[in-house]
Chain A
Amino acid sequence: MEFENDKERSGLVSRSKIKKANLRRNQYTISLLNEGLRAGLLTGQEVYRIQAGLMGILQDLIRRYTQGESSSVTSETAESIMASLLYAVDAYTLQFINPDQAVTELKTGNIRNIYEQGLELLRRLFEETKQLYQEVKKNKLDVPVDAYNMTIDESLPIFMKKYGIVFDAHNTMASIDYPLAVDDMRLQGVFYIRQYLERLQMETRFCRRFDRRDLLDLLTDYGKVCRFDYRIELFNIFELVLNNAIFSILSGGDAGQIRISANQYNRLQRMFSRLNASQIAAAIHQAMERLQHEMKTDPPLTDYMNQCRNNLIQRVINAANHDSLETVIIREKEVKTKSIVLLLNEADRMSDVRLRRLLDEMMRLETKEEKVQLIRDYFSSLHDYLDLLDSGCLYGDEYEALFATFGDMELAIFAKIVFYEELRADFLDFQSIVAAGKDDESEWKMHYVEFMQKLSDDRINAIGNLISDIDYEEIRFY
C-alpha cells in the first residue's frame, strides 16, 4: 500500500490495533471504519454517526447533481456519487501514515470538514497532475509508437478535460493504452493518473539519455524479432531500452549503449547458456547496479529499475532454457538491400472519383478475364488494391482469377495483411498458418486463404520466405 504524505509519523505504529492487512487501498475509509470497529477503536454508535454524516453530504451532492430539480436519482448514479464522495474522504484519511491516527480523525472530526479538506487535497493533486502532464508532453519521445503518442496526445487530455473532483473523483475517465513497465492498476482517478504520469516521465527521461537513432533502430529490430509492426503494438519502450542497456554492459559494451552487435549477442548467448539460474540473477543484479551507478540515477528511478529487474531475470532464465534468447536480447539486424520496390506510397493512391469510375466500368464488363485485365492495367498501389477488394465488386471465382495473376511478392504482401495476427502470435511456419486457414468476415480474405491453400507447398514456402523480407514500415494498415 502506498501512503502519500507523511503528515503524521507516529511512534505508535508498533502498538497499532489496526491490522494493515485488513485495509484496502480502494475504499480505504470504509475499511478503516470496519477495522476500527473490529479493533474496538470505534463504537457502533460512532460508526453510525460517521455514516449518517456521509449520507447528509450525499443528499446535498444529489441535489447539486440534479441542480435542485429532483430529489431522487437512480441507484447507479447515487452509488457513483457516493464513490466520488468517499474518494475525497480517502484522500484525507490516506495522508496519515498511521491508520490509528486516521481513525481518530474520523472519530473526533467533523465529517463535513474532513470531506471538504479531502476535496481540497484532490483539487491540489489535480492541479499538480496537470502541470506534470505539460512536462511529460513537452519532453515526449519522438518515436512512431502509436499507443505512446495517442496516450499522451489524446487520452490524457481527455482526462484533464473531463475529470471532476466532485462527482467523478473515482473515475479514471480516459482509456490509457500505453503500458508502463510497472503499473499499479489498483489505483483510480487522479491518484492513478498522477502515478502514471510520474512513471511515464521517469521512463521517458531515462530513454532520452540514449541516442535517438539507436532507439529507433532498436524498435525496428524488436518489431522484426516479434514479427509485428511495432508502431501499432502495445509494449513498453523503457523496458526494452533498459534490458538492452543491461545486455550491453554484460557483453562488454558501454552503460549508455543499447546497440547489441552480433558479436556481443554471441558472447551473451555463450555466457547465459553456461550460467545457472542464480548465477544469471547475480550477473543481472551486478549489471543493473553498474548501470545505475554510471548513469547516476536518482533514488526513485533506481527503485523503479529494480522493480523491473526480477522480470528481466526470469525472462532471461526462461529464454536460456528454451534456447530463445533472440526474443529477449534484441540485436542489431543487418540492413538488407531491398530487391523489389513496391508501390506502397500513400501518395500514389488514385483519387476516389477515379476509383469509383474504374469500379463502375469494371462492373459493366462481362467476363472475369476482362475484369482482371482492367485491374492489372489500372491498379498499381497497394491502397488501391485494398480499396478494390474491400469494395466487394468482385464475385466468386473472379477473386481467384485475380490472385492467379499475382507474383510471389504480391501474394506475400497480402499474406502479411491477412495473416497479421497469426504471423505475430507465434513462430509457426507459414505453411502451417496457411493450412490452418482462418475465419474472417471479409470476403476477399476468405477467397485469398482458399486460393493460397490450393498452391503447392514449394510455392507457399517461397512466399513465406519473402514475408520476412517485407518491412512493415512499408505497409500502412489504416
Chain B
Amino acid sequence: MYLSRIFNAINISVQEKYMTEILELNEKTKEFGLILTPDEVKNMMVARNKVLRDYGRVELGIEVTKELIEIFSESPYIHEDNYAATLTELHEIFYYLRNETEDKIGDFKLISMMKEMFDGECAGSVELLKSRLEEFAENFRSESLRESLFEGED
C-alpha cells in the first residue's frame, strides 16, 4: 500500500544518515575492541529491515539498533569475530520479543533484560537466549491474558 511505499522511500534516503550514526558508535565500542565496518553496518541494516518487515513492524529511526550496540558491546561474551553476526541475531530476537509481549514492555527494559540473560544464565549463547525468551514471552502472554480476564476487559 501507499504507506509502506513512503516508508521505504524515506528509509533509503536516511540510510546514509543512519550509517554515519552507527559508525560514530565505533568510538565508544573501541574500548572493548569492537568495531563495525561500513559493509557490516550495511548488511546489518538490510537484515534489520527484513526482520521488521517479517514481523510487520514499523520503526522510524534507529534507536533500537544503537541501544543494542551500546548495551551489548559491554558484554564479556562478545568478541570482534562474532560481533556483527551476534548483533544481527539480537535484532531478530528483539523484534520477535516486542511482538510477543504485545508492546507492553518498553524498548530499554526489553534490551536490558536480554542483556542480563545473555550474560547470566545463557553465558553468551544466542540459541539459549532465544529459547529462554520464548519461554518468557509465553509466560508473559498467559499472565497478561489472566489479568485481562480478571479485570473483565471488554
The A interface, classified by DSSP as helix, strand, loop or mixed, is helix
B19 to chain A, nearest CB (A): 18
Report the separation of the CA atoms of residues A74 and B59 in the bound assembly, to the nearest whole angstrom: 9
Report the separation of the CA atoms of residues A52 and B17 in the bound assembly, to the nearest whole angstrom: 14
In the complex, given contacts A69-B108, A71-B59, A73-B59, what are 8 additional A-B residue pairs having Cβ atoms less than 8 angstroms apart?
Answer: A58-B60, A69-B105, A69-B106, A72-B98, A74-B57, A74-B103, A78-B3, A79-B3
Asked if A76 CB lies within 8 Å of chain B CBs, one says yes
Chain B residues with CB under 8 A of A66: 103, 106
Q: B53 — nearest CB in chain A belongs to which residue? A: A75
Asked if B95 CB lies within 8 Å of chain A CBs, one says yes
Chain B residues with CB under 8 A of A273: none
Chain B residues with CB under 8 A of A74: 56-58, 99, 103
Asked if A317 CB lies within 8 Å of chain B CBs, one says no
A residues 328-354 with Cβ under 8 Å of B? none
Chain A residues with CB under 8 A of B98: 70, 72
User: Contact string, B43-73, partner A, CB cutoff 8 A, digits 1/0?
Assistant: 0000000001000111111011000000000
6 contacts between A and B (CB under 8 A): A55-B10, A55-B60, A59-B61, A71-B63, A72-B98, A73-B57
B121 to chain A, nearest CB (A): 25
Chain B residues with CB under 8 A of A79: 1, 3
A47 to chain B, nearest CB (A): 10
Chain B residues with CB under 8 A of A55: 6-7, 10, 60
B residues 68-103 with Cβ under 8 Å of A? 95, 98-99, 103
Q: A66 — nearest CB in chain B belongs to which residue? A: B103
In this complex, the member of B58, B63, B105 whose beta carbon has the largest number of chain A beta carbons within 10 angstroms is: B58
Contact at B103–A51, with CB atoms within 8 Å?
no
* The one of A59, A70, A72, A77 that contacts B52, using a Cβ cutoff of 8 Å: A72
* The one of B9, B58, B107, B108 that contacts A78, using a Cβ cutoff of 8 Å: B58
Report the separation of the CA atoms of residues A76 and B103 in the bound assembly, to the nearest whole angstrom: 13
Chain A residues with CB under 8 A of B108: 69
Chain B residues with CB under 8 A of A59: 60-61
B90 to chain A, nearest CB (A): 15
Contact at B106–A70, with CB atoms within 8 Å?
yes
B92 to chain A, nearest CB (A): 14
Chain B residues with CB under 8 A of A77: 58, 103
Asked if A102 CB lies within 8 Å of chain B CBs, one says no
The 5 lowest CB-CB distance pairs between A and B, nearest first, are: A69-B106, A72-B59, A78-B58, A59-B60, A71-B63
* The one of B57, B105, B106, B109 that contacts A75, using a Cβ cutoff of 8 Å: B57
Contact at B107–A71, with CB atoms within 8 Å?
yes
Report the separation of the CA atoms of residues A59 and B10 in the bound assembly, to the nearest whole angstrom: 12
Chain A interface (Cβ < 8 Å from any Cβ of B): 30, 48, 51-52, 54-55, 58-59, 62, 66, 68-79, 82
* The one of B2, B6, B9, B107 that contacts A70, using a Cβ cutoff of 8 Å: B107
Report the separation of the CA atoms of residues A203 and B106 in the bound assembly, to the nearest whole angstrom: 50
Q: What is the number of residues of chain B that contact chain A, defined by CB distance less than 8 Å? A: 27
Report the separation of the CA atoms of residues A472 and B124 in the bound assembly, to the nearest whole angstrom: 74
Contact at B107–A69, with CB atoms within 8 Å?
yes
Asked if B142 CB lies within 8 Å of chain A CBs, one says no
A186 to chain B, nearest CB (A): 18
Q: A61 — nearest CB in chain B belongs to which residue? A: B60
Chain A residues with CB under 8 A of B6: 51, 54-55
Q: A59 — nearest CB in chain B belongs to which residue? A: B60
Report the separation of the CA atoms of residues A30 and B63 in the bound assembly, to the nearest whole angstrom: 29
Report the separation of the CA atoms of residues A390 and B110 in the bound assembly, to the nearest whole angstrom: 52
Given that A51-B10, A66-B103, A70-B106 are contacting pairs, would A82 and B59 also be in contact in the complex, using a CB cutoff of 8 Å?
Answer: no
In this complex, the member of A55, A70, A74, A75 whose beta carbon has the largest number of chain B beta carbons within 10 angstroms is: A70
Given that A51-B6, A52-B10, A52-B13 are contacting pairs, would A75 and B58 also be in contact in the complex, using a CB cutoff of 8 Å?
Answer: yes
* The one of A30, A48, A58, A71 that contacts B2, using a Cβ cutoff of 8 Å: A30
Contact at B13–A73, with CB atoms within 8 Å?
no
Chain A residues with CB under 8 A of B99: 74
Q: A75 — nearest CB in chain B belongs to which residue? A: B56
Q: A82 — nearest CB in chain B belongs to which residue? A: B3
Report the separation of the CA atoms of residues A70 and B60 in the bound assembly, to the nearest whole angstrom: 11
B48 to chain A, nearest CB (A): 11
Q: A78 — nearest CB in chain B belongs to which residue? A: B58
Report the separation of the CA atoms of residues A55 and B4 in the bound assembly, to the nearest whole angstrom: 11
Contact at B10–A72, with CB atoms within 8 Å?
no
User: Contact string, B11-45, partner A, CB cutoff 8 A, digits 1/0?
Assistant: 00100000000000000000000000000000000
A412 to chain B, nearest CB (A): 40
Report the separation of the CA atoms of residues A73 and B106 in the bound assembly, to the nearest whole angstrom: 11
A53 to chain B, nearest CB (A): 11
Report the separation of the CA atoms of residues A48 and B6 in the bound assembly, to the nearest whole angstrom: 9
Contact at B60–A71, with CB atoms within 8 Å?
yes
Q: B67 — nearest CB in chain A belongs to which residue? A: A71
Q: B102 — nearest CB in chain A belongs to which residue? A: A74
Report the separation of the CA atoms of residues A205 and B1 in the bound assembly, to the nearest whole angstrom: 44
Contact at B95–A72, with CB atoms within 8 Å?
yes
Report the separation of the CA atoms of residues A82 and B3 in the bound assembly, to the nearest whole angstrom: 8
Chain A residues with CB under 8 A of B58: 62, 72-75, 77-78
Report the separation of the CA atoms of residues A74 and B95 in the bound assembly, to the nearest whole angstrom: 10
Report the separation of the CA atoms of residues A179 and B3 in the bound assembly, to the nearest whole angstrom: 33
B99 to chain A, nearest CB (A): 7
B110 to chain A, nearest CB (A): 8
B76 to chain A, nearest CB (A): 27
Report the separation of the CA atoms of residues A48 and B8 in the bound assembly, to the nearest whole angstrom: 12
Report the separation of the CA atoms of residues A75 and B95 in the bound assembly, to the nearest whole angstrom: 13
Contact at B9–A51, with CB atoms within 8 Å?
yes
Contact at A71–B64, with CB atoms within 8 Å?
yes
Given that A30-B2, A66-B103, A79-B3 are contacting pairs, would A72 and B57 also be in contact in the complex, using a CB cutoff of 8 Å?
Answer: yes
Chain B residues with CB under 8 A of A51: 6, 9-10
